[in-house]
Amino acid sequence: MSKVYDVIVLGAGPAGLAAGLYAGRSRLSVLIIEKGQDGGQIAITDEIENYPGQMVDGESGPSLIARMTEQAAKFGAERVSDTIKEVVLEGDVKVLKSEKAEYQGKNVIIATGAHARPIGCKGEV
């Protein structure tokens, strides 16, 4: 039987990484699932000037995301690269299925980015 996480986060952009970081900091077991590049749109930004908590003037998107990813891992968040094809949200344990794996969690946070895109899976809300 696969591990049942306290929280599964779909998406490793700024919102998903922040959710994973804070859930991990609260001593919850966390899995972050990202199908593409960590950071989403911010990862292709050359210079960031107005991000909350930013400490480096003129920081790039990739450097900010690298720090956020490192922080999430520091607090115990696990991360996998995968594409979810089906979501079952009924019951106490939610099930997220891909072609290669099945993930189980008590809670699911959807952080799919600035422009939410339907992924076309059964049970999508």
Domain containing 14 equals 4-49+56-110
Average pLDDT over residues 92-115: 92
CA pair distance 70, 64, nearest whole angstrom: 10
User: Domain for residue 118, yes or no?
Assistant: no
CATH code of the domain covering residue 33: 3.50.50.60
Domain count for the chain, please give it.
1
pLDDT tier, 56 (very low <50, low <70, confident <90, very high otherwise) = low
Task: Give the pLDDT confidence score for residue 122 in this predicted structure.
Answer: 77
Q: Is 20's pLDDT higher than 80?
A: yes
User: Domain for residue 97, yes or no?
Assistant: yes
Task: Give the pLDDT confidence score for residue 39 in this predicted structure.
Answer: 72
Which residues have a Cβ under 8 Å from the Cβ of 66 and sit 6 or more positions away?
A: none
User: Domain for residue 120, yes or no?
Assistant: no
Task: Give the pLDDT confidence score for residue 93 in this predicted structure.
Answer: 97
User: Domain for residue 94, yes or no?
Assistant: yes
pLDDT tier, 80 (very low <50, low <70, confident <90, very high otherwise) = very high
